[in-house]
């Protein structure tokens, strides 16, 4: 393992690799630091089809995994032509073991929980991370306590509960779950797996998306990567993965990152549009994209951290309406054969809005992250009028021809 320790992004104070959720001096977010000088680039190329443990904060033989990662990429000539772009590629994160990208950070988090000697974990989640935490904890033999907003889709709650987790619904927005999980970890000696920036180890799992894309695209770095974001750890993790590879000389420079939020919950996009230095929390968030519905109450620094990374990448953030998200979700299913939940379609909605508004060049190569499976949240689909007929081909013909 080449991880040297943790470092505060605000005051640069250094810490060893231990259980710590924020800087004790300034309360800043912590990130894992690596010894690039000891990592041999040729070693990275030889291990391209593996998980690149050299750039993760754990040893390979202590990892708890279920085949997460190496999700397929699907090029869409249809959408590229429609938007007048050079290349558009979907990274299908909904094909991970529990149906979302959250398997990546949770795999790292559960592995670290075991390494640190914990028997129980806690997580605050809008649904996808809850399912992942329940599944990976079960595989590791750990007990899991899962806190989800009361409005969480039944599909996600049932999935987590069936894995054996203690699932508790919490009244109010996701932020309430976040704060309760934080307190529970302190009072009950639980390892906090919450996939914002509170756990410096889980964020690292998202870097593997970048590692895979470099290999899958034969070293090509896209101009833009569109990522649906709540507080933003997936987007930050992807960018950090590219930064790692650039530091090792495996690529020239990272891509521009585009964070896509829903208009009903857009604190980061709003701060970017206003040129603000800090992100302000948003009260009463409301959107069909539950996976990215995070008002950041009590941890607005997470949003500011993501905002800083967006600007560092020379990218941008924008918000899309629920109607635009629905249209993107329907397009993916009916034109591309890809069934994703509303949050998973937000990136496509952001791409369409960006291309239509002239925010990206016509010669751009774009990656869009499809973050979660459509089976995760079926509420927005409504009811379908499905006909019932007798064993009579004439009835069938009438329906089909009409």
Choose among 119, 112, 139: nearest CA to 58.
Answer: 112
SS3 40: coil
Residues 289, 228: contact at Cβ < 8 Å? Answer: yes
Sign of the four-CA dihedral 231, 199, 222, 72: negative
pLDDT digits (tens, 9 = 90+) for 206-245: 999 999 999 999 999 999 999 999 999 999 999 999 999 9
Choose among 296, 163, 166: nearest CA to 233.
Answer: 296
Residues 85, 364: contact at Cβ < 8 Å? Answer: yes
29-32 contacts: CB < 8 A, separation 24 or more?
A: 29/197, 29/200, 29/301, 29/302, 29/305, 30/6, 30/200, 31/6, 31/7, 31/200, 31/203, 31/240, 32/3, 32/5, 32/6, 32/57, 32/200, 32/201, 32/204
H-assigned helices in 34-102: 41-46, 77-83
Architecture of domain 3-38+102-192: 3-Layer(aba) Sandwich (3.40)
Residues 290, 342: contact at Cβ < 8 Å? Answer: yes
Tell me what pLDDT residue 358 has.
Answer: 95
Ranges of the chain whose pLDDT falls below 50:
none
Read off the DSSP letter of residue 255.
Answer: P
Q: How far apart are CA 210 and CA 104, in angstroms?
A: 12
Q: How far apart are CA 209 and CA 104, in angstroms?
A: 9
Tell me what pLDDT residue 43 has.
Answer: 59
Q: How far apart are CA 89 and CA 104, in angstroms?
A: 20
Beta bridge partners of 373: 340
Q: Where in the chain is the domain with CATH 3.40.50.1100?
A: 3-38+102-192, 73-99+206-381
Pick the CATH number of 73-99+206-381 from 3.40.190.170, 3.40.50.1100, 3.40.47.10, 3.40.50.300: 3.40.50.1100
Tell me what pLDDT residue 151 has.
Answer: 86
Q: How far apart are CA 339 and CA 330, in angstroms?
A: 8
Choose among 383, 334, 323, 328: nearest CA to 351.
Answer: 328
Q: How far apart are CA 377 and CA 346, in angstroms?
A: 14
In the sheet with 166-170, reading across from the earlier edge strand, the strands are: 166-170, 143-149, 120-124, 191-192
CB contact set of 12 (below 8 Å; sequence gap of 6+):
none
- Judging by beta carbons within 10 Å of its beta carbon (0-12, 13-18, 19+), is residue 215 exposed, middle or buried? middle
pLDDT digits (tens, 9 = 90+) for 40-50: 765 555 555 55
Read off the DSSP letter of residue 24.
Answer: T
Beta bridge partners of 370: 92
Q: How far apart are CA 154 and CA 160, in angstroms?
A: 10
* Predicted TM-score (pTM) of this structure: 0.95
Q: How far apart are CA 298 and CA 233, in angstroms?
A: 16
In the sheet with 256-262, reading across from the earlier edge strand, the strands are: 73-75, 87-92, 365-370, 224-228, 256-262, 316-320
Q: Mapped to the 3 state alphabet, what secondary structure does 304-340 carry?
A: HHHHHHHHHCCCEEEEECHHHHHHHHHHHHHHHCCCE
Joined together, the tokens standing for residue 297 give 């109450």
Residues 225, 219: contact at Cβ < 8 Å? Answer: no
Residues 314, 306: contact at Cβ < 8 Å? Answer: no
Q: How far is CA 280 from the centre of its chain?
A: 21
Choose among 400, 390, 383, 373: nearest CA to 156.
Answer: 373
């Amino acid at each position: 393992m080449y991880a040297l320790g943790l470092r505060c992004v605000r005051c640069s104070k250094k810490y060893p690799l231990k259980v710590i959720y924020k800087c004790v001096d300034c309360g800043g977010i912590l990130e894992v630091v690596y010894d690039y000088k000891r990592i041999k680039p040729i070693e990275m190329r030889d291990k391209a089809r593996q998980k690149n443990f050299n750039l993760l904060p754990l040893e390979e033989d202590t990892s708890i995994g279920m085949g997460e990662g190496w999700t397929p990429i699907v090029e869409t000539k249809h959408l590229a032509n429609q938007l007048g772009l050079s290349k558009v590629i979907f990274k299908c994160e909904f094909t991970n073991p529990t149906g979302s990208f959250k398997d990546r950070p949770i795999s790292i988090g559960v592995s670290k929980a075991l390494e640190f000697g914990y028997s129980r974990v806690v997580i605050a989640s809008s649904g996808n991370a809850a399912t992942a935490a329940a599944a990976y904890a079960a595989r590791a033999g750990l007990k899991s306590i899962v806190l989800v907003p009361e409005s969480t889709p039944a599909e996600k709650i049932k999935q987590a509960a069936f894995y054996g987790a203690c699932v508790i619904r919490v009244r109010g927005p996701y932020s309430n779950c976040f704060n309760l999980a934080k307190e529970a970890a302190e009072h009950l000696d639980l390892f906090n797996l919450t996939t914002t920036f509170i756990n410096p180890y889980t964020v690292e799992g998202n870097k593997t998306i970048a590692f895979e894309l470099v290999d899958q695209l034969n070293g090509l770095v896209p101009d833009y990567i569109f990522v649906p974001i709540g507080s933003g750890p997936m987007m930050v993790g992807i960018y950090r993965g590219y930064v790692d590879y650039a530091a090792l000389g495996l690529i020239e420079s990272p891509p521009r990152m585009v964070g896509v939020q829903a208009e009903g919950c857009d604190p980061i996009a709003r701060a970017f549009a206003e040129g603000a230095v800090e992100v302000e929390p948003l009260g009463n968030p409301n959107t069909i994209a539950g996976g990215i519905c995070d008002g950041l109450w009590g941890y607005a620094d997470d949003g500011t951290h993501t905002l800083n990374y967006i600007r560092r990448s020379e990218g941008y953030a924008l918000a899309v309406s629920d109607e635009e998200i629905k249209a993107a979700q329907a397009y993916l299913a009916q034109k591309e054969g890809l069934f994703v939940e509303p949050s998973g379609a937000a990136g496509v909605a952001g791409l369409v809005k960006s291309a239509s508004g002239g925010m990206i060049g016509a010669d751009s190569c774009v990656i869009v992250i499809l973050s979660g499976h459509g089976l995760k949240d079926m509420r927005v689909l409504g009811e379908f009028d499905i006909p019932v007929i007798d064993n009579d081909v004439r009835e069938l013909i009438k329906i089909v021809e009409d």
